[in-house]
Amino acid sequence: MKGLNIIIAGVGGQGNILLERIIGKCAIAAGWKATAADTFGAAQRGGSVISQIRLGDKVRSSLIPQGKCDVIIGLEPGEALRATGRYVAEDTLVIVNTSPILPAKVKTGECAYPPVEHILQLMENAAGRVIHFDATGLAKKAAGDIRYTNIVMAGAFAAEELLPVDSETYKMIITETTGVFAQKNLIAFDAGLKQCSA
Protein backbone atom coordinates (compact mmCIF):
# COMPACT_ATOMS: atom_id res chain seq x y z
CA MET A 1 0.00 0.00 0.00
CA LYS A 2 1.44 3.34 -1.03
CA GLY A 3 1.68 5.88 1.77
CA LEU A 4 0.42 9.44 1.56
CA ASN A 5 1.85 12.51 3.28
CA ILE A 6 -0.53 15.47 3.57
CA ILE A 7 -0.02 18.99 4.89
CA ILE A 8 -2.99 21.22 5.76
CA ALA A 9 -1.85 24.84 5.99
CA GLY A 10 -4.05 27.63 7.29
CA VAL A 11 -4.58 30.04 10.13
CA GLY A 12 -6.26 29.56 13.48
CA GLY A 13 -10.03 29.44 13.20
CA GLN A 14 -10.16 27.94 9.70
CA GLY A 15 -10.81 24.38 10.86
CA ASN A 16 -7.48 22.65 10.12
CA ILE A 17 -8.07 20.09 12.85
CA LEU A 18 -11.57 19.16 11.68
CA LEU A 19 -10.33 18.69 8.11
CA GLU A 20 -7.42 16.61 9.39
CA ARG A 21 -9.82 14.45 11.39
CA ILE A 22 -12.13 13.84 8.42
CA ILE A 23 -9.27 12.81 6.11
CA GLY A 24 -7.74 10.60 8.79
CA LYS A 25 -11.04 8.84 9.51
CA CYS A 26 -11.60 8.26 5.79
CA ALA A 27 -8.15 6.69 5.53
CA ILE A 28 -8.84 4.44 8.51
CA ALA A 29 -12.18 3.43 6.94
CA ALA A 30 -10.15 2.33 3.90
CA GLY A 31 -7.92 0.16 6.09
CA TRP A 32 -4.95 2.54 6.19
CA LYS A 33 -3.03 3.54 9.30
CA ALA A 34 -3.09 7.25 10.11
CA THR A 35 -1.02 9.54 12.31
CA ALA A 36 -1.26 13.30 12.69
CA ALA A 37 0.57 16.23 14.28
CA ASP A 38 -0.27 19.92 14.53
CA THR A 39 1.89 23.02 14.86
CA PHE A 40 0.32 26.28 16.03
CA GLY A 41 1.67 29.79 15.59
CA ALA A 42 1.91 32.43 18.28
CA ALA A 43 -1.88 32.83 18.47
CA GLN A 44 -4.29 30.00 17.81
CA ARG A 45 -6.92 32.25 16.22
CA GLY A 46 -5.26 34.09 13.37
CA GLY A 47 -1.86 32.45 13.83
CA SER A 48 -0.29 29.95 11.47
CA VAL A 49 -1.50 26.34 11.79
CA ILE A 50 0.17 23.40 10.06
CA SER A 51 -1.42 19.96 10.29
CA GLN A 52 0.59 16.95 9.15
CA ILE A 53 -1.12 13.69 8.25
CA ARG A 54 0.74 10.51 7.37
CA LEU A 55 -1.18 7.57 5.95
CA GLY A 56 -0.06 4.04 5.08
CA ASP A 57 1.31 0.79 6.53
CA LYS A 58 4.91 1.93 7.01
CA VAL A 59 4.28 5.17 8.88
CA ARG A 60 6.58 5.47 11.90
CA SER A 61 6.44 9.17 12.73
CA SER A 62 3.72 11.83 12.64
CA LEU A 63 6.12 14.40 11.18
CA ILE A 64 6.62 14.69 7.43
CA PRO A 65 10.25 15.12 6.35
CA GLN A 66 11.00 18.28 4.40
CA GLY A 67 10.49 17.79 0.67
CA LYS A 68 8.42 14.62 1.17
CA CYS A 69 4.86 15.91 0.99
CA ASP A 70 2.44 14.35 -1.51
CA VAL A 71 -0.42 16.82 -1.02
CA ILE A 72 -0.62 20.33 0.41
CA ILE A 73 -4.12 21.59 1.19
CA GLY A 74 -3.90 25.35 1.59
CA LEU A 75 -6.83 26.92 3.42
CA GLU A 76 -5.08 30.29 3.03
CA PRO A 77 -2.74 31.17 0.13
CA GLY A 78 0.10 32.74 2.12
CA GLU A 79 0.20 29.80 4.52
CA ALA A 80 0.06 27.38 1.59
CA LEU A 81 3.12 29.10 0.10
CA ARG A 82 4.95 28.87 3.42
CA ALA A 83 4.25 25.11 3.54
CA THR A 84 5.25 24.72 -0.11
CA GLY A 85 8.67 26.19 0.64
CA ARG A 86 9.34 23.60 3.34
CA TYR A 87 7.61 20.43 2.21
CA VAL A 88 7.08 20.51 -1.56
CA ALA A 89 8.53 17.93 -3.95
CA GLU A 90 8.49 18.10 -7.73
CA ASP A 91 5.41 15.85 -7.86
CA THR A 92 3.46 17.42 -4.97
CA LEU A 93 -0.19 18.27 -5.57
CA VAL A 94 -1.24 21.61 -4.06
CA ILE A 95 -4.94 22.41 -3.57
CA VAL A 96 -5.24 26.03 -2.48
CA ASN A 97 -7.99 28.43 -1.51
CA THR A 98 -7.25 31.76 -3.21
CA SER A 99 -9.00 33.93 -0.59
CA PRO A 100 -6.40 35.47 1.76
CA ILE A 101 -6.71 36.24 5.45
CA LEU A 102 -4.62 39.33 6.08
CA PRO A 103 -2.26 39.21 9.09
CA ALA A 104 -2.39 42.00 11.66
CA LYS A 105 0.82 43.59 10.36
CA VAL A 106 -0.68 43.85 6.88
CA LYS A 107 -3.85 45.41 8.28
CA THR A 108 -1.82 48.04 10.15
CA GLY A 109 0.33 48.80 7.11
CA GLU A 110 3.60 47.48 8.57
CA CYS A 111 4.04 45.06 5.68
CA ALA A 112 2.34 44.11 2.43
CA TYR A 113 0.57 40.90 1.46
CA PRO A 114 1.90 39.65 -1.89
CA PRO A 115 -0.53 39.44 -4.83
CA VAL A 116 -2.30 36.06 -4.84
CA GLU A 117 -1.37 35.64 -8.52
CA HIS A 118 2.31 35.86 -7.51
CA ILE A 119 1.80 33.31 -4.72
CA LEU A 120 0.16 30.90 -7.17
CA GLN A 121 2.97 31.34 -9.68
CA LEU A 122 5.60 30.51 -7.06
CA MET A 123 3.70 27.37 -6.09
CA GLU A 124 3.25 26.35 -9.73
CA ASN A 125 7.00 26.74 -10.25
CA ALA A 126 7.76 24.45 -7.31
CA ALA A 127 5.01 21.81 -7.24
CA GLY A 128 3.88 19.13 -9.65
CA ARG A 129 0.33 20.47 -9.97
CA VAL A 130 -1.65 23.31 -8.40
CA ILE A 131 -5.45 23.43 -8.16
CA HIS A 132 -6.72 26.83 -7.06
CA PHE A 133 -10.14 28.37 -6.56
CA ASP A 134 -11.98 30.68 -4.17
CA ALA A 135 -13.12 28.12 -1.61
CA THR A 136 -14.15 30.84 0.84
CA GLY A 137 -16.48 32.42 -1.72
CA LEU A 138 -17.85 29.00 -2.62
CA ALA A 139 -18.51 28.18 1.05
CA LYS A 140 -20.41 31.45 1.45
CA LYS A 141 -22.41 30.89 -1.74
CA ALA A 142 -23.24 27.22 -1.21
CA ALA A 143 -23.53 26.86 2.57
CA GLY A 144 -24.12 30.46 3.60
CA ASP A 145 -21.01 30.89 5.77
CA ILE A 146 -17.26 31.15 5.18
CA ARG A 147 -16.72 28.85 8.18
CA TYR A 148 -17.42 25.92 5.84
CA THR A 149 -14.32 26.67 3.74
CA ASN A 150 -12.44 23.71 5.21
CA ILE A 151 -15.22 21.32 4.18
CA VAL A 152 -15.29 22.77 0.66
CA MET A 153 -11.58 21.90 0.59
CA ALA A 154 -12.43 18.39 1.82
CA GLY A 155 -14.63 18.04 -1.27
CA ALA A 156 -11.81 19.28 -3.49
CA PHE A 157 -9.45 16.73 -1.92
CA ALA A 158 -12.03 13.93 -2.37
CA ALA A 159 -12.39 14.84 -6.06
CA GLU A 160 -8.76 13.79 -6.59
CA GLU A 161 -9.59 10.21 -5.45
CA LEU A 162 -6.34 9.88 -3.49
CA LEU A 163 -7.93 7.60 -0.88
CA PRO A 164 -9.67 4.34 -1.85
CA VAL A 165 -13.06 5.49 -0.55
CA ASP A 166 -16.06 6.94 -2.35
CA SER A 167 -17.78 10.25 -1.71
CA GLU A 168 -20.46 8.52 0.38
CA THR A 169 -17.80 7.45 2.88
CA TYR A 170 -16.62 11.06 3.17
CA LYS A 171 -20.23 12.15 3.72
CA MET A 172 -20.81 9.50 6.38
CA ILE A 173 -17.71 10.61 8.28
CA ILE A 174 -18.56 14.30 7.89
CA THR A 175 -22.02 13.56 9.30
CA GLU A 176 -20.58 11.62 12.25
CA THR A 177 -17.93 14.26 12.95
CA THR A 178 -19.94 17.46 12.63
CA GLY A 179 -23.18 16.48 14.36
CA VAL A 180 -25.87 19.18 14.27
CA PHE A 181 -23.92 21.10 11.61
CA ALA A 182 -23.80 18.11 9.25
CA GLN A 183 -26.35 19.37 6.71
CA LYS A 184 -24.45 22.58 5.91
CA ASN A 185 -21.15 20.69 5.93
CA LEU A 186 -22.49 18.19 3.41
CA ILE A 187 -23.61 21.05 1.15
CA ALA A 188 -20.11 22.55 1.40
CA PHE A 189 -18.50 19.18 0.66
CA ASP A 190 -20.63 18.67 -2.44
CA ALA A 191 -19.75 22.17 -3.65
CA GLY A 192 -16.01 21.48 -3.37
CA LEU A 193 -16.39 18.03 -4.94
CA LYS A 194 -18.30 19.47 -7.90
CA GLN A 195 -15.84 22.38 -8.29
CA CYS A 196 -12.86 20.04 -8.66
CA SER A 197 -14.34 16.97 -10.33
CA ALA A 198 -13.27 16.40 -13.93
Cross-strand pairs, 38: 51
The yes or no reply on domain 4-196 and CATH 3.40.50.920 is no
Could you read off the pLDDT of 42-98 as tens digits, one per residue? 445 567 899 999 998 777 788 898 899 999 999 999 999 999 988 999 999 999 999
pTM for the full predicted model: 0.93
What does the alpha-carbon distance between residue 116 and residue 85 come to, in Å, rounded to a whole number? 16
Domain boundaries, the chain: 4-196
| Phi and psi torsions of 130, nearest 5° | -125, 125
